[in-house]
């Protein structure tokens, strides 16, 4: 395997493991609606990340860098989206029954809605596109086909993102049986909600 690939894998791992909005959404969904909901959020987030990678490969993401107004519109929309999810989580804190350690039969939302939540969080984050524009070119050999290598590195990042986010979701789901006290559940959800609002504020001001 080319040395550039081996050099890129640790970067993708760090990017995937580092807690962020994707992790918070996956964990919260797994706690609220079971492992499958958490995994679907993870898949949605990874798909959104892949979409930004494709946009970067085709040069579309660079347009956002050239036109700050378009970038700011998407950025503010993403910040608002995260903040609203955080407010919704705080508002409904304590309404989730975690006494059953298995996936509940009546989920608060369908798996596809969970997928859409993860997808939306990433698609409304233009900094993902900027990340790809800044990082991926550094790992493409100078004599290689840029598009082919971009696809390869994005496939690696997608695989790593799915693995990391799914792991977070499964770990959260396995903790359901330990979270049977309503007060504990309520405070955990409030913390998740505040974190999502915090991520939204960070996206808006940076």
Can you spell out the DSSP letters for 85-125? HHHHHHHTTT------SSPPSS-SS-HHHHHHHHHHHHHT-
* Residue 195 in this model has a pLDDT that exceeds 70: yes
pLDDT digit string, tens, across residues 3-48:
778 888 888 888 888 888 888 888 888 887 788 888 999 999 999 9
pLDDT digit string, tens, across residues 132-169:
877 887 888 877 787 888 888 888 989 999 999 999 98
Structure confidence at residue 2 as a pLDDT band (50, 70, 90) = low
Phi, psi of 7, rounded to the nearest 5 degrees: -70, -30
Long-range Cβ pairs for the range 187-191 (8 Å, 24+): 187/93, 188/31, 189/28, 189/31, 189/32, 189/89, 189/90, 189/92, 189/93, 189/94, 189/96, 190/89, 190/90, 190/93
DSSP secondary structure code for residue 197 in this structure: H
Q: Give the residue carrying structure tokens 């504020």.
A: 201
Mean pLDDT score, 172-180: 70
Mean pLDDT score, 162-191: 76
Write the CB contacts of 204 (distance below 8 Å, at least 6 apart in sequence): 75, 76, 79, 80
Mean pLDDT score, 83-94: 78
pLDDT digit string, tens, across residues 43-72:
999 999 889 888 887 877 777 778 888 888
* Residue 115 in this model has a pLDDT that exceeds 90: yes
pTM: 0.78
DSSP secondary structure code for residue 59 in this structure: T
pLDDT for 45: 93
């Amino acid at each position: 395997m080319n040395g550039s690939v081996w050099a890129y894998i640790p970067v993708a791992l760090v990017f995937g493991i580092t807690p962020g909005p994707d992790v918070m959404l996956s964990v919260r969904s797994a706690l609220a609606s079971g492992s499958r909901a958490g995994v679907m959020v993870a898949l949605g987030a990874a798909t959104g990340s892949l979409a930004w990678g494709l946009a970067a490969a085709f040069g579309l993401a660079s347009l956002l860098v050239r036109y700050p107004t378009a970038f700011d519109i998407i950025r503010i929309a993403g910040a608002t989206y995260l903040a609203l999810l955080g407010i919704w989580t705080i508002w409904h804190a304590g309404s989730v029954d975690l006494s059953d350690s298995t996936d509940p039969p009546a989920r608060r939302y369908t798996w596809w809605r969970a997928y859409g939540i993860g997808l939306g969080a990433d698609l409304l984050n233009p900094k993902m596109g900027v990340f790809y524009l800044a990082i991926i070119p550094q790992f493409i050999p100078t004599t290689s086909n840029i598009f082919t290598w971009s696809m390869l590195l994005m496939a690696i990042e997608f695989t790593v993102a799915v693995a990391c986010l799914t792991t977070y979701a499964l770990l959260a789901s396995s903790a359901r049986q330990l979270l049977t006290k309503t007060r504990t559940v309520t405070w955990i959800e409030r913390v998740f909600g505040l974190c999502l609002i915090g991520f939204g504020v960070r996206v808006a001001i940076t």
